[in-house]
Amino acid sequence: MEHLYEHPSFSCIGNSASMLEIDHDNREVYVELMQLQVDPPAIDTMQPSAEAVAARLTSPVMTTYLDTEKIAFER
């Protein structure tokens, strides 16, 4: 039995889902389709290059703090 979940901006059937982003100001709808991979790639193909590891290790660590009590949304 396939699982069905539906919401005005998100729907899911089986191994796939679609997400809608609605831009009311520009009167546009963006659709993102997602599908579960049945055969994931082999782990050895996902190894980063030595250059990527070196760049990550030498980059400064950055933390972003968001004060959620002072967020305002306007239209």
Residue 36 phi/psi, 5-degree rounding, is -70, 130
Q: For the segment 19-62, what is each residue's pLDDT rounded down to a tens digit?
A: 888 888 888 888 898 888 778 778 877 888 999 999 989 988 88
**By the 8 A CB rule, do 12 and 4 touch?**
yes
pLDDT at residue 7 in the model: 53
d(CA 3, CA 7): 14
pLDDT at residue 50 in the model: 93
Residue 42 phi/psi, 5-degree rounding, is -65, 145
Partnered with residue 33 across adjacent β-strands are 18
**pTM exceeding 0.85:** no
The larger pLDDT score, comparing residue 5 to residue 28, is at 28
Residues 6+ apart with CB under 8 A from 28: 22
Say if residue 63's pLDDT is above 60: yes
